[in-house]
Amino acid sequence: MRYQRTLKKPVELKGLGLHTGKEIHVRILPAPEETGIIFVRTDLSGMTLPALVDHVSPDRSILSTTLGEGRLTVQTVEHLMSAANGLYLDNLRVELDGPELPILDGSAYPYTVLFREAGIVDQSRRQFFYTVSKVVEFSEGDKWIRVEPSYHLSVSYRIAFGDRLTQERVFVLTKKEFEREIAQAKTFCFLSDVEKMREMGLVKGGSLENALVIGDDGVINPEYQTYPDEFVRHKILDFLGDIRLLDRPLIGAFAVLKGGHAFHTRFLSFLIEENLLVRVDAPIPAPSSWSPLACPIPIG
């Protein structure tokens, strides 16, 4: 079993929102047991949004995960949520003075560094977890996901963008592995899509420092690349953030093919609507001989 966890002290950061291009100030504060992760818009009289999939705005969660409706939105929550999932943080109050979390360096690393600096403490209540009650498959078009009940969290992820880019990776969650293998993976985009996104008024805060940009001859800003298979690692990072939009952490053996934010969160809503989640008291570490589920579908 493990206890619920929060930060020892508040941390602060500021930076540009990826989509709005506005500078946003963020304070992340310790929160009491059973709070979960909540977002507080200080510029909207302290209106509050819990980080739960019921509050995801699916139409606005294509390039990033957006919570809320109308004026009360919090966009691009996934990298902070991923850092919280990866470092087993359960209760946080996240105050921000605008509609979007800053993109920072395009990864979850700045959050993990701040959380480590602040310190993480066990609280007095035990945490429980969700896993699935049976093997579940879910698909939409060429996107596919499968999850098996498990007492630990593993992800086998495969991405395929036609003949432009194919990568796959298996990841088994521990705090150490998250920080070493996943947290630093930056977001990415194709050069050919950048103009289109700009014309749509998106990615105003995007730059070569916070996204790997893939051109015809490969990454055009390799000086910012940490891993050769950084793109699939970032997809795992996003996935870990998106599946943390429950009131407790979700564990299981996942295989994902060509996922994205909207697909990840619709899958999570499906698990709730179909009553497929069961409560377990404690995750157990994967045995060293255990091999995670592989993606059985060939790349299309």
Residues marked active site are found at: 261
Nearer to Zn ion, 5 or 261 (CB): 261
- What is 48-106 written as a DSSP string? EEES-GGGB-GGG-SSS--EEETTEEEB--HHHHHHHHHTT---EEEEESSSB-B-TTS
Q: Determine the size of the site formed for Zn ion (CB under 5 A).
A: 2
Residue 92 pairs in a beta bridge with 30, 37
Can residue 82 be called a binding residue for Zn ion (CB under 5 A)?
no
Per-residue DSSP letter, 277: E
| Region from 4-12, 69-77, 161-169, 181-189 binding Zn ion, contact rule CB under 5 A | 181-189
Can residue 76 be called a binding residue for Zn ion (CB under 5 A)?
no
Q: Is the dihedral of CA 190, 194, 197, 203 positive or negative?
A: positive
Minimum distance of Zn ion from residue 163's CB (angstroms):
23
Helix (H) or strand (E) holding 195: helix 191-199
User: What phi and psi values does residue 124 have, to the nearest 5 degrees?
Assistant: -85, -20
Can residue 265 be called a binding residue for Zn ion (CB under 5 A)?
no
Among 6, 61, 66, 187, binds Zn ion (CB under 5 A): 187
Nearer to Zn ion, 75 or 187 (CB): 187
Can residue 85 be called a binding residue for Zn ion (CB under 5 A)?
no
Minimum distance of Zn ion from residue 74's CB (angstroms):
15
Can residue 95 be called a binding residue for Zn ion (CB under 5 A)?
no
Minimum distance of Zn ion from residue 124's CB (angstroms):
34
Closest listed residue to residue 137, CA positions, set 293, 299, 30, 300: 293
Can residue 238 be called a binding residue for Zn ion (CB under 5 A)?
yes
Nearer to Zn ion, 136 or 182 (CB): 182
Minimum distance of Zn ion from residue 122's CB (angstroms):
29
CB atoms within 10 A of CB 217: 6
Per-residue DSSP letter, 261: H
Nearer to Zn ion, 36 or 260 (CB): 260
Largest CA-CA distance found in the chain, in angstroms, rounded: 54
Minimum distance of Zn ion from residue 265's CB (angstroms):
13
Binding track over 44-63 against Zn ion, x by CB under 5 A? --------------------
Query: How far is it, in rounded angstroms, from Cα 4 to Cα 118?
Result: 16
Minimum distance of Zn ion from residue 233's CB (angstroms):
11
Query: How far is it, in rounded angstroms, from Cα 259 to Cα 58?
Result: 14
Nearer to Zn ion, 181 or 238 (CB): 238
Nearer to Zn ion, 148 or 193 (CB): 193
Do 293 and 253 form a contact (C-beta atoms < 8 A)? yes
Q: Which residues bind Zn ion (CB under 5 A)?
A: 187, 238
